[in-house]
Structure 1
Amino acid sequence: MKRMISRTAMGLVVTALAVGGLATTAQAAPAVAGGGDPTLTDVYIWATDVNLRQEPTTNSARLEARSQWWADAICQKQGQTVHDPAVGTNNWWTAVMELSGSDVAWVNNLYIRGGQKIAGVPDC
């Protein structure tokens, strides 16, 4: 019985965190106090099978692929120009990490909702 109550409580906590996270995805996360980190902005990768790269170029290592995914944007800068016939051309890339924290990876802004340069994401 004690184990069932514990599991139920954990399920409620996870659900509350997930719902709370979805409700705040449009807001910027505050910088870590004393760490000098830039303000993080949530961004949405709208496409499917988008490559997350080690550097802002398609020639760098592919770290992961994501589909329709929210991430924390650290900063953005110009890198290799990417042309996708279905979407367009862009040379702006955003450094992202998973909302739960992860290594930094780069995504071309073609695949992030917000346009050529993403509002609210500082330049690197």
Structure 2
Amino acid sequence: MSDDSAASARSIRIRGTQVALRECPRTSCGIATRVSNATLRAYCQTNRHTIEVSGNRWWTKVTLLHGSDPAWVSNHYVRTAAPKVPHLPSC
């Protein structure tokens, strides 16, 4: 990720257990890992070329706090996202 995206990163809280972090913003993409009630680092969000999860088309690009490859989580699982994460830029 570029320094610009790292500068705009913010922490988000995931609600739920065994929530899939995916390789792309669609449920058909591979699962990179699963998290339960976790705090993640969020970089940006998109609703382009995504799949709706429980009425929400927005997905957020994230990494684990201790570092990981980027992955995607449906905003349906992000606390305070209705439908977007406030103050998080679009991808």
TM-score category of the 2 structures, normalised to the smaller one: 0.7 to 0.9
In our comparison, the structure showing a higher alpha carbon Rg is 1
Describe the SS at the equivalent of 2:58: strand
Structure 1 unaligned segments of length 5 or more: list them: 1-31, 84-88
Runs of 4+ that moved beyond 6 A: none
Count the aligned residue pairs. 86
Q: Does structure 1 residue 61 correspond to structure 2 residue 27?
A: no
Q: Residue in 1 aligned with 2:12?
A: 43
Larger RCO (CA within 8 A; separation ≥ 6): 2
Structure 2: distance between partners of 1:82 and 1:43: 18
* Alignment partner of 1:81 out of 34, 46, 52: 52
Where is the helix percentage greater, Structure 1 or Structure 2?
1
Q: Which residue does 2:86 correspond to in 1? A: 119
Equivalent-residue separation in structure 2 for 1:72 and 1:45 (angstroms):
11
**8 A contact 1:44–1:113 mirrored in 2:** yes
With normalisation by structure 2, the TM-score equals 0.88
Asked whether the 8 Å contact 1:41–1:120 carries over to 2, the reply is no
Structure 2 residues without counterparts, runs of 5 or longer: none
**CA RMSD, aligned part only?**
1.3
Distance in 2, matches of 1:120 and 1:105, equals 19
Would you tell me which structure has more strand in proportion to its own residues?
1
Deviations 1:14-71 (CA, angstroms, capped at 9, x unpaired): xxxxxxxxxxxxxxxxxx7xx3325101000011110000000000001111000000
